[in-house]
Amino acid sequence: MTVTQSAPAVRTQPGPTDNQAVLIVHGKDRTGIVAAISAVLGKHDANIVSLDQYSDNPHGGAFFQRTVFALDHLKARLPQVELDLQAKLAEGFELEYTLRDLSVPKRVAIFASKDDHCLLDLLWRHRRGELPINVSMVISNHPDTANEVRFFGVPFFHVPSAGPDKSAAEAQHLQLLRGNVDFIVLARYMQILSGDFIGRVGVPIINIHHSFLPSFIGAGPYAKAKQRGVKLVGATAHYVTEDLDEGPIIEQDVIRVSHADTVADLQRRGADVERAVLSRAVRWHSEDRVIRHENHTIVFAG
């Protein structure tokens, strides 16, 4: 049972998701789950506005459901909805859930390095209202984008890479984060995170890898692609695990290239794909559309 509550957003006008909540349920499949969830919501006169459900085996396996519902006076009534949901799920179900007020955006910290196209794209889309997030800070091991980031009104922190000994730099990151974020985005951040950091930070980390994984894991994928003579290059957004570029994939895309493209051409053309793939992954994660299961994801894309 987890209830994720982000920092309250400052809002002046009712938004499209005011008085709406998202309920994610997943676990051991059996008959009666959809009915049980619907019964709890119906008891509270909550109106289901969207419902996505998937079972990975018709004969019994894993169950996944995303439900968005509208409920007047949501903030005051959500705690009782949750208590009734807990009681219902205790009746012979083996399920986990998260329940979140959609009017409270998730807080995100963005890590960046020298290549800033993904970082600036996220900040630009956020300013246009395309991403339901609250950007708490940007941390970069390069100082170059400080002015641009501050132009977007986002705190910027420069934490230089400390070479082979990453522990000091990672300790600085943890100090800056201080548990004030709901997830982290690596926007072409070019430092390998230690398993200790990943464990201690305790929130999901999304990375954009500049290749169509599992091809070309690690550094320099465009040079590797050119060397291999590929006809497609791509990008992959995935959750970060200790195993480099091996985490559960959230979103991918590709673009056609030719023999005449130089590595610089591949980097330039691939950057468009990176930006699109990362922004979709960040939006879907922010809207609780992605459920991690073993080493893959169920994505109820919207």
Ligand X SMILES: Nc1nc2c(c(=O)[nH]1)N[C@@H](CN(C=O)c1ccc(C(=O)N[C@@H](CCC(=O)O)C(=O)O)cc1)CN2
* CB of 155 or CB of 218, closer to ligand X: 218
C-alpha distances out from residue 126 to 105, 161, 191, 285, Å: 11, 27, 25, 14
User: Stretches 29-37, 82-90, 239-247, 288-296: which one binds ligand X (CB under 6 A)?
Assistant: 239-247
Q: Does 207 bind ligand X (CB under 6 A)?
A: yes
CB of 188 to ligand X, least distance (A): 7
Q: Smallest distance, Å, CB 247 to ligand X? A: 6
Active-site hit among 121, 245, 261, 288: 245
Biggest CA–CA distance in the chain, Å, is 63
240 forms part of the interface with ligand X (CB under 6 A): yes
116 is catalytic: no
Nearest distance in Å: CB 22, ligand X? 27
HEC assignment per residue over the chain: CECCCCCCCCCCCCCCCCCEEEEEEEEECCCCHHHHHHHHHHHCCCEEEEEEEEECCCCCCEEEEEEEEECCCHHHHHHHHHHHHHHHHCCCCCEEEEEEECCCCEEEEEEECCCCHHHHHHHHHHHCCCCCEEEEEEEECCCCCHHHHHHCCCCEEECCCCCCCCHHHHHHHHHHHCCCCCEEEEECCCCCCCHHHHHHHCCCEEEEECCCCCCCCCCCHHHHHHHHCCCEEEEEEEECCCCCCCCCEEEEEEEECCCCCCHHHHHHHHHHHHHHHHHHHHHHHHCCCEEEECCEEEECCC
| 189 is a contact residue toward ligand X (CB under 6 A) | yes
82 binds ligand X, rule: CB under 6 A: no
Which positions from 118 to 147 touch ligand X by CB under 6 A, shown as an x/- string? ------------------------------
Least distance to ligand X, CB of residue 134, Å: 23
Q: Is 184 in the site for ligand X (CB under 6 A)?
A: no
Paired with 171 in beta bridges are none
Does position 192 bind ligand X by CB under 6 A?
yes
Site string for ligand X, 152-181 (x = CB under 6 A): ---------x--------------------
Check binding of 242 to ligand X (CB under 6 A): yes
Number of residues that bind ligand X (CB under 6 A): 16
CA-CA distances (angstroms) from residue 301 to 63, 213, 222, 234, 273?
A: 17, 20, 28, 19, 18
Q: What whole-number distance in Å separates Cα of residue 193 and Cα of residue 74?
A: 39
Interface with ligand X (CB under 6 A), residue from 190, 203, 254, 255: 190
- Does residue 223 belong to the site contacting ligand X (CB under 6 A)? no
Q: Which of 186, 187, 291, 299 binds ligand X (CB under 6 A)?
A: 186
- When the beta carbons of 55 and 191 are compared against ligand X, the nearer one is 191
Rounded least distance, CB 211 to ligand X, Å: 8
* Segment lying near ligand X (by CB under 6 A), choices 60-68, 146-154, 189-197, 280-288: 189-197
Give the nearest distance from C-beta 205 to ligand X in angstroms: 8
Residues that are catalytic: 245
Q: Which residues bind ligand X (CB under 6 A)?
A: 161, 186, 189-193, 207, 209, 218-219, 240, 242, 244-245, 247
